[in-house]
Chains A and B, each alone.
Chain A
Amino acid sequence: MVDRPDVALDDLYREVVMDHHRRPRGRAPLARVDATAHGFNPVCGDEVVISLALDGDRVTGAQVQGRGCAICTASGSMMAEMIPGHTAAEAEATAAAFRAVMHGAPAPGGTDLGDLEALEGVQKFAVRVKCAMLPWVTLTDALKAWRDGGNEATSTTEAQEAER
């Protein structure tokens, strides 16, 4: 016996999200790694490692590794697809805009969230917001460590969310 999909569930797992979940982008290792960070969600044990290649202050490549739920995996995959070509500041602005959306605020004017818009439904599932944010808080960590002198960073979604 299989029910017809629940409407609320479809809000969370939109088609685009499922596509990224099934075929996550950005898994391949980079030739060169300039910044990296390890993120951990203490609520569920999910982990991601973000590695970035940078040319000047422009991100030229991103790799997302780790294990997470469909939401976390999709969010990381979207990031890997979006970020290359962005400057560090642009990537951070996207992370901030996405955080705003996840917390129920409108995206600051002019930010194009691309596929990330498909994750909009996550904001209705409070505990899952951290899943969607994990790759992004880890990305901001990687960029911060890179600015501060290239050290590796480790963070948790809780510490990150509390900071803001």
Chain B
Amino acid sequence: MAGTASPVVALDPRALRARFPILRRQVHGHPLVYLDNAATTQKPDTVLAALASYYTTSNANVHRGVHTLAEEATALYERCRSRVAAFVNAPDARGVVIVRNATEAINLVARSWGATLGDGDEVLLSEMEHHSNLVPWIMLARERGVALRHVPITADGRLDMAALAALLSPRTRVVSLTAMSNVLGTINPIAEIAAAAHRVGAVMVVDGAQSVPHMPVDFQSLGADFLAFSAHKMYGPTGIGFLVARPELLEAMEPVSGGGEMIREVRLDFASWNDIPHKFEAGTPNIADAAAFPAALDLLEATGMPAVRAHERELVGYALERLRALGWLQLHGPLDADARGGLVSFVDPEIHPHDLAQVLDTRGIAVRAGHHCAQPLMRRLDVAATARASFGIYNDRDDVDALVDGLVAARAYFGLAGESHG
């Protein structure tokens, strides 16, 4: 791609918004301002149509029949796999395992690759991980005596790279990190870390739940060994996600779930496994959502991931500036928009995040309040919870302005001093 990258065409959030029917609804008499995209994104008309179309025209079980419907369903299902492989530049579609979500993808690695680990081996994680990249490893540590190590974060919410370097050793067998924090927004230097992990002989697992939907992600140039993400956070349906892996690694791994589809031959007391990736996909898979997800990829590809990133970078920069100007909020994570994805976690020291989210909801503004499945990080930040606004392709500055007005209104509602706007 050297030198020939096409210029980034700015995306038009207004035009994109029109593609999402749910964004036309009202909440408590106000137009919906949806700022909970890190939890899940809304779905465009084309995804909704593809879901209906699958059930209306092609529904059948996959890989099992010779009849026309079975063939169509199988083709749709496998097309999802190859589209996903292309979207993240996987070396081979055989390295794409279709699972339920990012959580299941990480569990698959921890259970299956993890089964090769034992006493004295170490798994390196960080303080900013989502529970789904902590708990599977805690389970592994309990079962196999593997030691867990955690990269600390710096005061401004980045990985402490010096500490990371010191924690890596020949005992490190797995490094598993989020590419973008769902609380701090921090974008981690995965390519650099993957190279360091490989130097000590560890595999690199990337939690791409937040990065794949919001920035260009190239599996091969990252140097990842495993990459986990969920369709529902990237304008696709719920209930389908992906583990992208180097095929050689999958070849060497044992399945964790047995049943139909994943076998080659079964006798009463014996079974052999199907080829990858099928040996990891026991039972009837999520065919309908696989059939619909490429419509979401169409939208992201037509928009262009560099444009998605540029838009959200601009928006988070604007949000940081406006939220900081209020003067009373604690903002978590790097203040530099280049170093973070399109989300902001904040705390009003006088109003609990739950109460804040409640006031915002009455104005039609959806934000998340809580620990964001990152309790260790909450402890590290010394907060019980934060409020979080997270952006998507259909959000614009008006949404940030509505949020800021809502935060001012919440102060007034709770009888606290706040700057008066207008």
A residues contacting B by CB (< 8 A) are 1-3, 5-6, 8-9, 12-13, 18, 22, 43-47, 67-71, 73, 125, 128, 131
Contacts and interface: CB of A to CB of B under 8 A. Distances in A.
B352 A2 contact: no
Contacts of A131: 354
Contacts of B370: 43-45
B171 to A, nearest CB: 33
Nearest to A68: B352
B53 interface: no
Contacts of A12: 358
A9 B369 contact: no
A3 B352 contact: no
B134 to A, nearest CB: 15
Interface of B: 28, 351-355, 358-359, 362-363, 369-371, 375, 378, 384-385, 405, 408-409, 412-415, 420-422
Contacts of A2: 408-409, 412, 420-421
A6 B361 CA distance: 10
Can you list the 9 inter-chain pairs with the closest CB atoms, starting with the nearest? Answer: A69-B352, A69-B354, A6-B362, A45-B384, A45-B371, A2-B412, A45-B385, A1-B422, A70-B355
B412 A8 contact: no
B30 to A, nearest CB: 10
A5 B413 CA distance: 7
A61 B405 CA distance: 43
B374 to A, nearest CB: 10
Contacts of A6: 28, 362-363
A9 B375 contact: no
Nearest to B371: A45
Contacts of B421: 1-2
B362 A9 contact: yes
Contacts of B414: 18, 70
A1 B353 CA distance: 21
Given A1-B409, A6-B362, A45-B385, 12 more contacts: A1-B405, A1-B421, A2-B408, A9-B359, A9-B362, A12-B358, A13-B413, A18-B414, A18-B415, A22-B415, A46-B384, A70-B352
Interface-centre pick from B358, B408, B412, B415 (highest chain A CB count, 10 A):
B358
Given A2-B408, A2-B409, A8 B362 contact: yes
A8 B28 contact: yes
Given A45-B370, A70-B352, A128-B354, A3 B409 contact: yes
Given A3-B409, A6-B362, A128-B358, A45 B352 contact: no
Contacts of A13: 355, 413
A9 to B, nearest CB: 5
Interface-centre pick from B352, B359, B385, B405 (highest chain A CB count, 10 A):
B352
A131 B355 CA distance: 11
Contacts of B385: 44-46
Contacts of B352: 67-70, 73
A27 B409 CA distance: 29
B384 A47 contact: yes
A69 B420 CA distance: 24
B43 to A, nearest CB: 23
Contact of A45 (B363, B378, B409): B378
Contacts of A43: 370
B363 A44 contact: no
Contacts of A128: 354, 358
A6 B351 CA distance: 17
15 contacts: A1-B408, A1-B422, A2-B409, A3-B363, A6-B28, A8-B362, A13-B413, A18-B414, A22-B415, A44-B370, A44-B385, A46-B354, A46-B385, A68-B384, A131-B354
Given A2-B409, A70-B352, A131-B354, A44 B384 contact: yes
Contacts of B422: 1
B358 A9 contact: yes
A128 B362 CA distance: 14
B408 A44 contact: no
A40 to B, nearest CB: 10
B367 to A, nearest CB: 13
